[in-house]
Amino acid sequence: MMRTKEICEVSNKKQKGSEDEQEDRLSNLPDSILLHILSFLPMKDAVKTVLLRRFGNLWTYLQTLNFDGRSYLNYQRSCHGKWFTVFVPQALLRHECPAIIKFSLKFGSYLYFSPTGFKPPKGKKALEPNLASTIDSWIHFALRKKVKILDLGILAHGSSSTRFDYDLPHAVFRSDFIIEMSLVNISLRQPEQVHLKALKNLSLTTIMLDDKMMEGILSGCPSLESLSLIQCYGLHKLNCTSARLTKLMIVVGNDFSWVEISGPNLMSLNISGLHGQVNLRNVSSVVEASLDICHDYCNIGSLLEGLHQASTFTITSWCILMLITSDKDSIPCPSSTRKHLVLKTQITKRHLPGIARLLQSSPQLETLTIQIGDGTSPFHPEDSLRVGISEFSRWDCWNDENWLNASEIGVEHFFETEIPFGCLKNHLRTVRISGASVSNSSLLHLVKFFLEKSLVLERMEISVRKLYPCSYTWHTELAELSKMLSTWRKASPSAMIVLA
């Protein structure tokens, strides 16, 4: 039996251990770690940490300044209310760090605009002129602090177009320190001179451009490696001649837009959009390409021809459907040297003919990846507000089901064609499928085809769609699929099937 003294000692140890467990470990972290944590917060939240003793005025030494009007619940008031024009300069005035890494400024504009120039609806307010000069001062502050990443956006709200009512200061184009810049819905006046010798990544979204302006920007950015043009208007000739510019993403934006791309040194090319046309000239160095065009009149055939040498090629549902528009009419699908084909698509009987043609035109294909989704979307930006086209979210023209219901194509014997599938004999070794469902008969037809015809297949990975974690349906489908696969003949004795 324990003595009273021993019981007290045990009790004290337990109490001490409990106090250790409740110790404020956050307060013991060094300033550098705390600053790193604060850098992920909007400034309005970072400033509030002044109320915590351990943090104090630590926020004033942040190297990432993130002012985002959308972080407030009342969107309209947050973008034009007094808090914004008072809070931002007060925060900048108290900033102590001599240099900053990132300056992000995003707020709303409520005056509508389109390239054709219709007047804005009544009751909508424009960006106030005095606010424009105030914003200039904020940007000059960032430039004085030798900012490396500049992220500026005037975000449209509830409109299908945007108002370019803020002109970027010329001083931005003469920075020796900016290495990454993102501009959304901002007016670019013809720069007197572009001198951005350190700029490596440039992203422009819904911005009016012309060929001369774009030529000046590219010639003034000798270190540019990556360029993104998202629904920009007015540009028709894009000559990416710099040896360092190897990555291009372009999202076409309206019915009347067209652009010709010339890039002898481009290695990565991503083309997408709802409307418009892209012509390719001299892109022979591209090794990674993506095609996500979502309208009837896109020149898919010529784009496939221009990208035939890309070793990794990604194509989405609508383009696959358009490869065969009827029994008698189809888009040319030129032979390619691609090694890896990625299909981001639904799998229905309407998609199978297009998939068959892609396989037939890929005689050297080694890896096939199929990512099955409910539909396709041409919008790559993570934030749909960035492109300022909320009406397109209600536009169903690019929805696969509408096309499927209106189309009549005979698909009974598309894989029993006389045209050979060269990749199945000597090259196709890996097939990866995600989002599978046992109820999808077209997918099962495709899987069975690969198992029975791929002579050198080594590995087939199938991931069953899981709507809910550990759901009964998922386990049931997995077991059913496993049983089904075990009965199918395999042309390759070394083929391994992995289910997840």
Q: In what order do the strands lie in the sheet with 237-239?
A: 237-239, 258-262, 277-281
Two tokens, residue 153: 């956006």
Return d(Cα 388, Cα 184) in angstroms, integer.
9
Q: Where are the alpha helices (DSSP H) in 286-440?
A: 300-306, 317-322, 352-360, 400-406, 422-426
Two tokens, residue 3: 């003595």
pLDDT of residue 345: 93
pLDDT of residue 415: 65
Two tokens, residue 253: 């934006």
Question: CA torsion sign, 434 to 440 to 445 to 448?
Answer: positive
Each residue's pLDDT expressed in tens, for the chain with a length of 500 residues: 445 445 445 455 555 555 455 556 777 889 889 889 888 888 888 888 888 888 889 999 999 999 887 665 444 444 445 677 788 899 999 999 999 999 999 876 543 333 333 344 444 445 566 778 888 999 999 999 999 999 998 765 434 344 456 789 999 999 999 999 999 988 887 777 899 999 999 999 988 888 999 999 999 999 999 999 998 888 999 999 999 999 999 998 765 678 899 999 999 999 998 777 889 999 999 999 999 987 655 678 889 999 999 999 999 998 888 887 654 556 778 889 999 999 999 998 888 988 998 999 999 999 999 999 854 444 444 444 444 443 343 334 444 445 445 444 544 456 665 567 899 999 999 999 999 888 888 899 999 999 999 999 999 999 987 765 555 677 788 888 888 888 999 999 999 999 88
Return d(Cα 274, Cα 459) in angstroms, integer.
36
- What's the gap between Cα 354 and its chain centre? 25
Question: How many residues does the structure list for the chain?
Answer: 500
CA-closest candidate to residue 315, choices 348, 277, 359, 350: 359
The torsion defined by the Cα of 389, 391, 393 and 397, in degrees rounded to 10, comes to: -110
* End-to-end CA, the chain: 56
Q: Letter for the amino acid at 113?
A: F
104 close to 65: Cβ distance less than 8 angstroms: yes
Q: What are residue 497's DSSP bridge partners? A: 460
Q: What are residue 150's DSSP bridge partners? A: 103, 181
Which residue carries 């917060």 as its tokens? 41
Segment holding 499, helix H or strand E: strand 496-499
The residues near 250 (Cβ < 8 Å, ≥ 6 apart) are 228, 229, 230, 238, 259, 261, 270, 271, 272, 273, 278
210 close to 235: Cβ distance less than 8 angstroms: yes
> How does DSSP classify residue 128?
P
The phi, psi pair for 65, rounded to 5°, reads -110, 115
Q: What are residue 464's DSSP bridge partners? A: 436
Q: Letter for the amino acid at 187?
A: S
48: left (phi over 0), alpha (psi -120 to 50) or beta: alpha
The phi, psi pair for 293, rounded to 5°, reads -100, 135
CA-closest candidate to residue 153, choices 386, 381, 380, 383: 386
Segment holding 32, helix H or strand E: helix 31-38
DSSP helix/strand/coil, 65: strand
* Domain map (residue ranges) of the chain: 30-117+129-203
